[in-house]
Amino acid sequence: MSTPSIKLLCLPCAGASASMYLRWSRQLPSWIKLVPIELAGRGPRLDEPKVENYREQVNAILQCYQHEMTGDYAFFGHSMGALLAYGVTLQLQQRNLPLPKTLMLSACPAPQFIHPERYPEPNDRQALITELRAQGGTPDMLFDNADLLQMTLEVLAADYRALRSFTPPIPSQITVPVTTFYGHDDLISVSEVLAWQQHARHPLSQQGFAGGHFYIHSAQASVLSALEQTLSRNNASAASLVSC
């Protein structure tokens, strides 16, 4: 029996656009429809005002992409994108709207570990550049292009303001299956990632990969294989429940 088709809604990390996921479309099987979520102020939405508040960003995603959150779909978010996917899922639960089949959280500590001092001061240009270099994943050519670097720093500053505005919501557990992904060499500790169990009703699934914060690039083949397995497992399980 073939695997049911599913939409994979992907949310970007801080400072990035939806283009960070475009290379995946050529690698994923046809039953997975990739839906990269573009945030305001970047990519084709460059002329729109950047959102600098976490709750406002969650609401903006719902407003722009709720039409994709129907049928069989799932969320994948990397770093900031994971925290946004979590916030969107909570909002969907609270509004009794269709929920994703699964929530995949990558390179992101649990909410209780999110606090302003984790992130550089958004107005400190050098601190932002240092952060970009420390995390890796940014092409060296970007640092040699003044205009492109400035554009990236403006987006990164807005995203860090949003992250620094985050406050853990009233205790509420995600009711869909949650899988956490992490890089073995990331500065985010494994214990911080596994603490997502406190926010998940079902037993947390987890998988580590070789690499640092941007292991999703350096270990892309392994990551996509894990994504496919996770989606196949959770989508097939949901389909079997409906047929019973």
pTM of this structure: 0.93
pLDDT for 230 beyond 50? yes
Question: Residue 242: its pLDDT value, please?
Answer: 39
Query: Who's near 104: CB < 8 A, 6+ residues apart?
Result: 74, 75, 76, 77, 85, 178, 179, 180, 181, 227, 230
Task: Tell me whether residue 150 is exposed, middle or buried, using C-beta atoms within 10 angstroms of its C-beta: 0 to 12, 13 to 18, 19 or more.
Answer: exposed
pLDDT in tens, 24-60: 989 999 999 999 999 999 999 999 999 999 999 999 9
Question: Residue 239: its pLDDT value, please?
Answer: 47
pLDDT for 179 beyond 80? yes
Please report the DSSP string for the chain in residue order.
-PPPPEEEEEEPPTT--GGGGGGGGGTS-TTEEEEEPPPTTSGGGTTSPPP--HHHHHHHHHHHHGGGSSSSEEEEEETHHHHHHHHHHHHHHHTTPPPPS-EEEES---GGG--GGGS--TT-HHHHHHHHHHH--S-HHHHT-HHHHHHHHHHHHHHHHHHHT--PPSS--B-S-EEEEEETT-SS-HHHHHGGGGGBSSPPEEEEESSSTTHHHHTHHHHHHHHHHHHHHHHHHHHHHHH-
Question: Residue 172: its pLDDT value, please?
Answer: 79
- How far is the C-alpha of 63 from the C-alpha of 2, rounded, in Å? 33
Q: Please state the φ and ψ torsions of residue 90, each to the nearest 5 degrees.
A: -60, -45
Work out the number of other CB atoms within 10 angstroms of the CB of residue 178. 24
* CATH classification code of 6-239: 3.40.50.1820
| 112-116, 216-220, 238-242: least confidently modelled range | 238-242
Question: Residue 241: its pLDDT value, please?
Answer: 40
pLDDT for 244 beyond 50? no
Both structure tokens of 162: 């949003």
- How far is the C-alpha of 70 from the C-alpha of 99, rounded, in Å? 8
Confidence of residue 243 (pLDDT cuts 50, 70, 90): very low
Nearest Cα neighbor of 205 from 235, 226, 179, 184 is 179
Give the rounded percent of residues in the chain with a pLDDT score beyond 90: 78
| Chain mean pLDDT for the chain | 92
Q: Taking every pair of C-alpha atoms in the chain, what is the biggest distance, in angstroms?
A: 59
Question: Residue 236: its pLDDT value, please?
Answer: 61
Q: What is the crossing angle of helices 80-94 and 146-164, to 10°?
A: 40
Q: What are the sequence ranges of the domains in the chain?
A: 6-239
pLDDT in tens, 111-149: 999 999 889 999 999 999 998 888 877 778 888 888 988
* Distances, alpha carbon 65 to alpha carbons 9, 70, 146, 226, in Å: 9, 10, 33, 25
Question: Residue 240: its pLDDT value, please?
Answer: 44
